[in-house]
Chain A
Amino acid sequence: MATEAASSRVLDARRSGRSLRIVAGGNWLGASGGGGNTVQSADTLSLAHDRGIVEYVPGDLTLTARAGTPIAELIAAVKANDQWLPLDPWGGDSGTLGATLSTATAGPHSHAMGLPRDVALGLEFVSGTGEVIRAGGRVVKNVAGFDLTRLVIGAWGSLGVITEVTIRLRARPTALRSYLLGVDTGAATLNDLAVNLRALPFTPVASELVNAALARRLGVGDNASVIVRVAGNANSVNAQTAALRRLGRLSDAPGDVWRRLREMDHGAEATWRRSQLPSAFGDTWASLERGTKDLDQALMHGNPLRSVVRVAASGDTGELRRCVTHGVGTLAIEMFPPRDGPLVLQESTQRRKNAALERRLRDTFDPDRVLNPGIMGIDA
């Protein structure tokens, strides 16, 4: 069985004092580093061949699959039953289920559909000591025992290699429509936009502000605009459309823009996410925009509902780096060129304190740093 194979690879590596870089689709830890740090290991543990759906009962709206299953395969399977997979990883649907959970990557639908931590019901993982652990379960509500599922999601493999996942599904809405909403990208205007979108009497199923460079790549014009999607029954979708029209110029967008949007920044050397409170969404956007003004290929997009701005860039990112690490809010790191050294956002006392606790977690589940050593910035 594939889980046992993964477990014995981890045990062997541990015994021989070696470490493992965990990969599947190769989108995250394939070539350069990830999670802001290089993984300093020679051997690769690939889950690419550990794929397939283990259990899918459409009436339960739950699905269990092996970690190496590409997201595209899962979308096809649930779509056949008029259902929706509430995962939309950055990097695109060639990415795997395991990597989506390990990185907790959350695309434009995540405000309405939930983050990976909200939609995962349970998972199986192999810890750094080779122990096979089955956390959570396959039912949609479950509070039995301590929550190992949440802990492993977003841990970039550093607490365990995810081998199997159970996800909750959604029924597919009867109507879906995508639009471009023209906006002025001044900081104050965008602050208001984020607040106004959240104040609507419905939640758009997806929304993403894209910068001009990204809009051109997607073929949706030459200016920054918000791509927005509404869902529901026919009456609801019509009324949602009318409400959006009151926020700005509205034009139709192709339905496949969401998938293409998630594939666009693949291969960028550096990818960062900054977030602040929704009322400061425009300030975050403006500060990162300043950092990218000399990088004409830098792609920027932001979710006004979650108030997260994501930037993907290659080349001389010195100025961008200064802007990314400046100011209040939070910083998450997806890809980062190792040559530039570690990156931190205003290291606070609290952050250092939590890092000590996180190191204890790492010591508990992977005491010998077998799994993705160097990742998460807590191994130094």
Chain B
Amino acid sequence: MLVRHGELLAYSSDGLPGYTKVPSIAVFPGTREEVVAVVRELASHDVPFVPRGAGTGLSGGALADGMVLLGLNRLRRILSVDPVNQLAVVEPGVVNTVLTREVSKHGMHYAPDPSSQAACTIGGNVAENAGGPHCLKYGVTLNHVVAISAVLPDGEVYTFGNAAGENVGYDLVGAFVGSEGCFGVALDVTVRLQRNPQGVRTLLADFMSIDAAARAVSAIIAKGVLPAALEMMDAATIRAVEASIYAAGYPADAAAVLLIELDGFEAGLDEDVATVVALCTAAGARSVRVAKDEAERMKLWQGRKKAFGAMGRISPHLVVQDAVVPRTKLPAVLERIHEISQRHRVNVCNVFHAGDGNLHPNIGYDAHDADESARVHKAMREIMELCIDEGGSITGEHGVGMDKLAYMDRLFTAGTLRAMCDLRSVFDPKRRSNPGKVVPIHSCREWTAAPAARAAVAAQ
């Protein structure tokens, strides 16, 4: 348990710059029983708390403003692996890639692969319904979780879902996954394991215009080939990557590159590769390169996975944004984003899951420069509003947290936001778990928990 201000500062931010909130206390239980005991103790005093995994979130969702921070990262046991039924049961603090490493001896992996996968936890992935490049083919966290044991904020322990199959009753797993820590704390999670593909082909297609690259994306998606991943990087991203230690050999003068991965049954792969090469060429690709070996494949991916790091290197702070648009709107939306960034004099780098229409417009800046920060926020707001107006969403995989609260009113009707508040109240009637996040407070019929609970903390 940490109580000193200096120590608590380490937990005052997550992966998103611009927000700093210091918790009043940080508690790090080491066992399932300790988590339940802590949650019950908090319940008995009506104290609000914020669950936290590795703190790699990008929406300010795990920040505790003068509240108790409940760290789950010590619960990192893999409880069981069943290779025959392709299931694993893990504690919430298990790091995403640690699970994949553990099951690799069975020729399997855990499919959701957010960029932070070397640090982020399964519990955090469940809270955010995390995605990643390969969810185009394999689905997001929700599609890979079959059961969850959780302690609800009142201290009661439940098991949702069943590894054996579907049960009578509501989809409580579906409700819990992506609830951003507002419905309770996962104690163990049963996930599906994915068999490693028999064959993998990784392609790099380079384009002289973003528009041509975006049209190639639509053509590939519409054809009967479902790539494992279909990622786009624009010129600014390519330059940042190539100037860093993660240089992947991307063509430095390209307006955009597509990183395309095809995987699965070996027998059909080369035919699919030929189809994709033909579609890229028809859309105007200057060249399409197929990685010759694993080393070249890893290098191409390294550039993509470390793109955020490469951008972070050239600016003191980096906003990694997240929004979704219908795939056919990509060319027009990217054009508008470019126009917005010029008007506000900010540098937007686009590196994103093009196959899903899941944009990541990133802006490098200096958060201590008030004028630049203001311009960055204005540009971001316009980009978010643009995505909403084009029929998209304000987040595809990072969550709402604190950062996207302001857009919820524009995306959803008042009735829908009320229904979300009501759903939260079923799991957490006093709204003590991660209060103030996801749904704007004014949408809820009543809001009493936070101030009263803060007083309770002060009284102790």
Contacts and interface: CB of A to CB of B under 8 A. Distances in A.
A209 B225 CA distance: 28
A199 B108 CA distance: 11
Q: Is the interface of A mostly helix, strand, loop or mixed?
A: mixed
A151 interface: yes
Interface stretch (A26-34, A87-95, A231-239, A293-301): A231-239
Given A328-B164, A361-B426, A141 B271 contact: no
Contacts of B158: 350, 353-354, 357
A117 B172 CA distance: 12
Contacts, number: 261
Interface string B199-237: 000000000000000000010011111100000000000
A155 B327 CA distance: 31
Nearest to B86: A198
A279 B198 CA distance: 23
A146 B353 CA distance: 23
A148 B223 CA distance: 32
B159 A350 contact: yes
B176 to A, nearest CB: 9
B168 A279 contact: no
A364 interface: yes
Contact of B420 (A139, A143, A146): A146
B224 to A, nearest CB: 4
B84 A376 contact: no
A195 B86 CA distance: 10
B356 A141 contact: yes
Contacts of B427: 357
A82 B224 contact: yes
B389 interface: no
A365 B422 contact: yes
Interface stretch (A12-20, A44-52, A329-337): A329-337
B439 interface: yes
B241 interface: no
Contacts of A141: 131, 135, 140, 324, 353, 356-358, 393, 396-397
B304 interface: no
Contacts of B264: 201-202
Contacts of A142: 324, 393, 395-396
Contacts of A207: none
A279 B84 contact: yes
A279 B85 contact: yes
B125 to A, nearest CB: 11
Given A141-B353, A171-B221, A235 B267 contact: yes
B271 to A, nearest CB: 5
Given A82-B224, A144-B404, A153-B174, A131 B418 contact: yes
A140 B357 contact: yes
Given A62-B326, A232-B268, A235-B271, A330 B167 contact: yes
Contacts of B177: 147
B156 A307 contact: no
B71 interface: no
Interface residues of B, number: 93
Contacts of A132: 413, 415
B84 A236 contact: no
Contact of B224 (A117, A131, A174, A277): A174
Nearest to B324: A139
Interface string B154-180: 001011101111111111111101110
A117 to B, nearest CB: 6
A236 B263 CA distance: 12
Interface string B108-133: 00000000000000000000110100
Interface in B412-426: 412-413, 415-420, 422-426
B249 interface: no
A138 B271 contact: no
Given A143-B397, A357-B172, A57 B326 contact: yes
A159 interface: yes
Most buried by A among B183, B218, B222, B266: B222
A139 B131 CA distance: 14
Contacts of A118: 139, 142-143
Given A118-B139, A143-B395, A147-B178, A239 B172 contact: no
Contact of B226 (A170, A239, A308): A170
A195 B84 contact: yes
Nearest to A231: B224
A132 B131 CA distance: 29
Contacts of B404: 144
Contacts of B423: 146, 148, 151, 361, 364
B325 interface: yes
Contacts of A135: 416, 419
A147 B396 contact: no
A377 B271 contact: no
A59 B326 CA distance: 9
B408 interface: yes
Contacts of A82: 224
A171 B86 contact: no
B347 to A, nearest CB: 25
A146 B424 contact: yes
A273 to B, nearest CB: 7
B225 A171 contact: yes
A355 to B, nearest CB: 7
Nearest to A151: B175
A360 interface: yes
Contact of B174 (A137, A147, A357): A147
B357 A330 contact: no
Nearest to B157: A353
A171 B391 CA distance: 22
B393 A144 contact: yes
A240 interface: yes
A69 interface: no
Nearest to B404: A144
A58 interface: yes
Contacts of B198: 201-202
Contacts of B159: 350, 354
A239 B328 contact: no
18 contacts: A59-B218, A60-B326, A60-B327, A131-B418, A135-B416, A141-B353, A142-B396, A145-B412, A145-B420, A149-B174, A151-B175, A202-B265, A239-B267, A278-B86, A332-B165, A332-B166, A357-B427, A376-B170
Given A201-B198, A275-B164, A364-B426, 6 more contacts: A134-B413, A137-B393, A144-B412, A146-B182, A233-B272, A360-B426
